Amino acid sequence: MTLIDLQNSTVLVTGGSRGIGEAIARTLHQAGASILLHYSQGEAGANQIAADLGHERVYLVQADLAVPGAASALWQKALAQGGAINAVVNNAATMPAAAITDPWDSWSAAWQDTLQVNLVAMADLCREAICHFQSQGGGTLVNLASRAAFRGDGPEFMAYAASKGGVIGLTRSIAKGFAQDGVRAYAIAPGFVRTDRIEQVMAERGAEYVTRDIPMGAPAEPQDIANLVAFLVAGLAPHATGATFDVNGASYFH
């Protein structure tokens, strides 16, 4: 991490109270960044992270991204707390199951919620960030997609895979459309990552359920994602803008 110096940088991290988002927030903070840590329901986790980091250069911002328009309000709150924002890490996501045999109301609600949180809210935040970045000579967007964007997911998680496919198209379009403004946009597409949710899946279904198609034999650690985010936010690979980075233990290449 000696190459990574994020002093004088302010980064908004969505879904930062646990899992991958928590690892990203802690890693960027360790590299010197001020962190605008967004959470939805995870207030206790967000407060614990702030306490662990000594409340220095950490600002908590709550918003329920399932609510249309909440992302724009989140941006305004974040801007008021942090002043100029140099980068946004769009990590927040949801993954409700929706089988085709479910009642239509359940099916529709799962699709609406998934697309709203995983794609529409992300697009809203990107829109706000791009306008802000244009006014200050540039900035960085790192959007969390998924291996599912390319290889699909289980039939009950079609909405999730579709939303993550949208993240790829969104990121590439931003990279092409705003490169001349100094805006850099990257996507990261993890496979299984050892979060609490995946640990629970492994406990319930057996580790083999997760590891059987991963040549490295284990899910990625959240730190893998966090290190890559820090590298990209630090501006060390500007010409990689628009690229998607696979982090899946060699289980899939798009």
Catalytic residue IDs? 160
SS (H, E, C) 136-188: HCCEEEEEECCCHHHHCCCHHHHHHHHHHHHHHHHHHHHHHHHHHHCEEEEEE
- d(Cα 52, Cα 71) in Å, to the nearest integer? 27
* Residues in the chain, total: 254
Spell out the SS3 assignment of 28-83.
Answer: HHHCCCEEEEEECCCHHHHHHHHHHCCCCCEEEEECCCCCCCHHHHHHHHHHHHHC
Q: Which of helix, strand or coil describes residue 241?
A: coil
